[in-house]
A and B are shown apart, each in its own frame.
Chain A
Amino acid sequence: DAGVIQSPRHEVTEMGQEVTLRCKPISGHDYLFWYRQTMMRGLELLIYFNNNVPIDDSGMPEDRFSAKMPNASFSTLKIQPSEPRDSAVYFCASSFGSRDNEQFFGPGTRLTVL
């Protein structure tokens, strides 16, 4: 298995633009997590899905952020409109069978909003 796949790996955009980050979890995994990592705030859980259903989105910072999981092999995190303070590394992770089983992280998307 190729592991968790994220795209793009790097994204540079201007303030006000829409940004879409993509994630393909490990095949067969039924939990999917989106995290944001910054120097100031560390690693934060934004939202997680179980069997494609959002379970907890309380970490989503504001209405500009939205996440979807239309099927078991694909999820998106969208920021609209983007702001400079959204600059961070965004990780997607997946796990199998339980929230408590090992989460396998993707390589991350480094987002820079100018």
Chain B
Amino acid sequence: GENVEQHPSTLSVQEGDSAVIKCTYSDSASNYFPWYKQELGKRPQLIIDIRSNVGEKKDQRIAVTLNKTAKHFSLHITETQPEDSAVYFCAARSSASKIIFGSGTRLSIRP
């Protein structure tokens, strides 16, 4: 069935360093890939998304890359700050039009 795998499940980086979260998807027809950030006790919020007609998208310190051949996409956060600490979810919209979420990555920024 349709599946999105996300790694790592937890990630701890030094403030100022970069963080990378990787996801793979199973449905080759998937064409929309959003990333959500969820702070503790709060709702998920979209931080960036990418469609399959582009390979990379950047928004300030956040970038997402997509490799359709390999069926994987990644989130890159540069110059990490304490407020980046949260759980990050990748997702993919399958050919059946469902948004399937990854299992989440808990990112901690060490001061």
A residues near B, CB below 8 A?
A: 33, 42-45, 55-56, 58-59, 91, 99-100, 102-103, 105-108
Chain B residues with a Cβ closer than 8 Å to the other chain, count: 20
Q: Does B43 contact A (CB under 8 A)?
A: yes
**Which residues of A are found within 8 Å of B89, using beta-carbon distances?**
42-43
Q: Is the CB of B93 within 8 A of A43?
A: no
Residues of B within 8 A of A107 (CB): 42-43
Interface status of B100 (Cβ within 8 A of chain A): yes
Residues of chain B within 8 A (CB-CB) of A102 are: 34, 46, 49
Q: Are B101 and A43 in contact (CB under 8 A)?
A: yes
| Number of residue pairs spanning A and B whose beta carbons lie under 8 angstroms apart | 45
Closest to B46 in A: A102
Q: Complex formed: what's the CA distance from A102 to B93 in Å?
A: 13
Complex contacts, B49 vs chain A, CB 8 Å: 100, 102
Q: Contacts of B99 on A, CB cut-off 8 Å?
A: 33, 45, 99, 103
Q: Which one of B45, B97, B104 contacts A42 once the chains associate, using CB atoms below 8 Å?
A: B104
Closest A residue, CB atoms, query B51: A100
Task: Count chain A CB atoms within 10 A of each CB in B46, B49, B51 and give the residue with the most.
Answer: B46
Q: Does A44 lie within 8 Å of B101, measured CB to CB? A: yes
- Taking the closest CB of chain A, its distance from the CB of B45, in whole angstroms, is 7
Q: Are the C-beta atoms of B43 and A105 separated by less than 8 Å?
A: yes
Asked if A100 and B101 make an inter-chain contact with CB atoms under 8 angstroms apart, the answer reads no
User: How distant is B99 from chain A, measured CB to nearest CB, in Å?
Assistant: 6
The 3 closest A-B pairs by CB, nearest first: A105-B43, A43-B101, A100-B32
In the complex, A59 Cα to B89 Cα: how many Å?
18
B83-111 interface with A by 8 A CB criterion = 89, 93, 96-104
